[in-house]
Amino acid sequence: MSSPKVLFGFHAVSVRLKTAPQSVIEVYFEASRRDARMRQFLERAREAGVRLIEADSMRLAKLAGSHGHQGVAARVEPLAQKHSLDDLLDELQAQTQSQGKNQAQIQPLLLVLDGVTDPHNLGACLRVADGAGVHAVIAPKDHAAGINATVAKVASGASETVPYFMVTNLARTLRELQARGIWVIGTSGAAPQSLYQMDFTGPIALVLGAEGDGMRQLTRKTCDALMHIPMQGAVESLNVSVASAVCLYEAVRQRLGSFNK
């Protein structure tokens, strides 16, 4: 059985209270904080029937491993991952076939992160992915950040809602996606085609590399197409979470347009 883990921050703990209150072992809160946000949070926790424990800021910081706890932390049981990647894609395929090929909104939309090791970047990417309706985020098991308390805090609850699959061989996984008819599009500053020249209405996996190094060579070679994000100023590249947002919301824009035709 997996050991309990810690979540901290209002968003991360609140999402767990909302989606899986039975998994919350206990909630620690800063007793000296009595503002409206804390009162609303405690009311939600009491409604969920969880155990509440008063704590000072130092105890919360020690529990969370961070001073950015906002006055709340929780010990929780890890949630079982609902799907394997294959199961998730099989389910999406069945939905697409039953509802018609023109249902662009349920075509697979995946975000692939190659070499993103910073937990703050991963948390921000998961938050963007949740907002854009991404079906899953995929990363290699090596040279990538896993889900921890910092990721959960930055993700503002999205680490609880977006499936995150860490795979042994990323290039092989991309080829398996291609065999399912999913178009794999990578980002590269040197690519001739712009983001705005791409068609995102079909099954898509968007691949982004870490800021600076970008995608690994084998990952780049495996992509079906490469695109660049137009940069009009002196800065040469965007942070990976910002780049994810730009790309994913262009896909959302196109898919909504296709869906409403």
pLDDT tens track for 159-209: 888 999 999 999 999 999 999 999 999 999 889 999 999 999 999 999 999
Which residues make beta-bridge pairs with 113?
A: 208
Q: How confident is the model at residue 50 (pLDDT cuts 50, 70, 90)?
A: very high
Domain 85-259 in CATH 3.10.20.30? The answer is no
Per-residue pLDDT tens for 55-106? 999 999 998 887 888 999 999 988 776 678 998 888 887 776 665 545 555 6
As a whole number, mean pLDDT of residues 109-125 equals 95
- DSSP E strands in the chain: the ranges are 5-8, 24-30, 51-55, 72-76, 109-114, 136-140, 164-167, 183-187, 204-209, 225-227
Per-residue pLDDT at 96: 67
Q: Where exactly are the structural domains of the chain?
A: 5-76, 85-259
pTM comes to: 0.77
CATH topology assigned to domain 5-76: 60s Ribosomal Protein L30; Chain: A; (3.30.1330)
Residues 6+ positions from 69 with CB-CB distance below 8 Å: 8, 9, 57, 60, 61, 63, 153
Least confident of 42-51, 115-124, 143-152, 218-227: 143-152
Largest interatomic CA distance in the chain: 57
